[in-house]
Amino acid sequence: MRENAKVIIYPYSPKSIGLTSDKLQKNTIIVAPYAMKEHYLNYNQDNVLFVRSYNYTSIVDIIQELVKKYILLEFIVLSEQDIEFGGFLNDFYGSCKIAQGLTNATLYRNKYFMRTCLKGKVNQPEFYLVRSKPMIYNICNKSNKFWIMKPLSKDSAQGIIKIDEQNLKKVELYEESYILEEMIEYEVMYTTDGICVGQDIVEFFINQYDKPILETFGNSKRHITRTHSLDLDKRLKEMLFESTKIILETFNKHGEVLPFHMEWFFTKDADVIFCEAASRFGGKIGSLIQTCYDFSIFDRYWDIKLSNKDVVFTSFNEIRNPEKISFNYSAYKNNGKLTFIPKFENKNVNFKVELNQNYVASSTIQENAFELYETYNSEREYVEAIQKLDKLSSSLIYE
């Protein structure tokens, strides 16, 4: 008789999603690239299947063998680029009716479907699906707005192009389809992060980016993710909570247990405008939540997902508020050969570059020269720390 099993498919270090060995149940199976083997040395090796050629075909080959031994309840996929693949696997091979299916995965992944299903429910930029240059010309020439063009299913500002009169004719289309969005001028980008069970929120946190992401590549040369301001307006927090709830109610139909990460523009007119949503953990944010609130959102998720722990839903009045500021500072790489790195007093700096190596300037927020996490008790201390880090970052010399 076949036993039940759950399959986790993840191409990166399990540490990045808080998947420690003690979280695995007897019949939890992890499929991972062979290159990640050193990250699983302390795991029961019977629970981990390594793939030398990590691609969908190889993964399906493994699944075909697993279905001979197990009833596969669910496939858990938390890597952004593989979310839709996980939805397909749940629909085709999985037996759990509340697992994330392909429709749900697509809504969290495909920006055009995402925006279309939310039209009239949350504030959004004007948007169009475009497949050719004439379509782009036609829309842009009829409007005096600025536009940005995004691939339908990429993250971290990958492939985003700002459209204006100067570069309109130079635009090259590398994807079959794009979404063309009205460019929103905003003061701050907030994120809402947490865990949901279907349409209900279990955990909820508000965080923010220091600067508009696209601007950081040209100006500050670094990206900062932080817990929200200590004096954040209650009305704004409630707007973010209620808007997040609308998206969960629109997308989730079957009691899916999901982490969520949503991004929101906050304009000078105090409008909250939806940017995008994802059914995954938000980059650096799990670590910020841990240090700021002394709470592991990863442990909470895996306890629900793998151990079937009971859940209590959260209302707006029950959400946690920070008493200190935790942040991640990621300094971008520049073009050229790195010839000088200043001395850093902070021992927690994670350098990702080496002296006398050639580098290309960062084009995504993941591509950085160094990063670190810090925590401070006040906005003044935070500002002073950022100023020091900016000075150190600008001292790296590329020739």
Spell out the domains of the chain, with CATH numbers in brackets.
3-99 (3.40.50.20), 126-182 (3.30.1490), 188-398 (3.30.470.20)
Sheet of strand 70-77, all strands in order from the earlier edge strand to the far edge: 48-51, 28-33, 3-9, 70-77
Does the pLDDT at position 372 exceed 90? yes
Give me the amino acid identity at 7: V
Rounded (5°) CA angle 21-22-23:
90
For the chain, give the number of residues.
Answer: 399
CB 313 within 8 A of CB 197: yes
Query: Would you list the DSSP string of 282-348?
Result: -TTHHHHHHHHHS--HHHHHHHHHTT--------GGG----SSEEEEEEEEP-SEEEEE----S-TT
Does the pLDDT at position 3 exceed 80? yes
Candidate ranges 153-162, 273-282, 344-353; pick with highest mean pLDDT: 273-282
Does the pLDDT at position 177 exceed 70? yes
Who's near 159: CB < 8 A, 6+ residues apart? 150, 151, 174, 175
In the predicted model, what is the mean pLDDT of residues 70-91?
97
CB atoms within 10 A of CB 177: 15
Task: Output Rg (C-alpha) for the chain, integer angstroms.
Answer: 22
Q: What is the pLDDT of residues 237-291, one digit of tens each?
A: 999 999 999 999 999 999 999 999 999 999 989 999 999 999 999 989 999 999 9
Q: What is the pLDDT of residue 230?
A: 92
Name the nearest CA neighbour of 162 among 182, 143, 186, 133.
182
Of 33-47, 67-81, 209-223, which gets the smallest average pLDDT? Answer: 209-223
Q: What is the pLDDT of residue 377?
A: 95
Which residue has 């009833």 as its token pair?
Answer: 71
Does the pLDDT at position 156 exceed 70? no
Does the pLDDT at position 379 exceed 90? yes
Q: What is the pLDDT of residue 134?
A: 86
CB 215 within 8 A of CB 162: no
Does the pLDDT at position 213 exceed 90? no
Percent of the chain with pLDDT over 70: 98
Name the nearest CA neighbour of 271 among 384, 190, 372, 161.
190
In the predicted model, what is the mean pLDDT of residues 149-155?
83
Q: What is the pLDDT of residue 163?
A: 83
Which residue has 């707005």 as its token pair?
Answer: 145
CB 239 within 8 A of CB 272: yes
CB atoms within 10 A of CB 33: 17
The per-type count for the chain, helices as H runs and strands as E runs, is 10, 19
CB 370 within 8 A of CB 348: no
Alpha-carbon distance of 113 to 374, in angstroms, equals 37
Of 87-101, 124-138, 224-238, 293-307, which gets the smallest average pLDDT? Answer: 124-138
Q: What is the pLDDT of residue 366?
A: 83
What confidence tier does 236 reach under pLDDT thresholds 50, 70, 90? very high
In the predicted model, what is the mean pLDDT of residues 200-207?
98
In the predicted model, what is the mean pLDDT of the chain?
93
Collapsing DSSP to helix, strand or coil, 109 comes out as: helix
Q: What is the pLDDT of residue 211?
A: 85
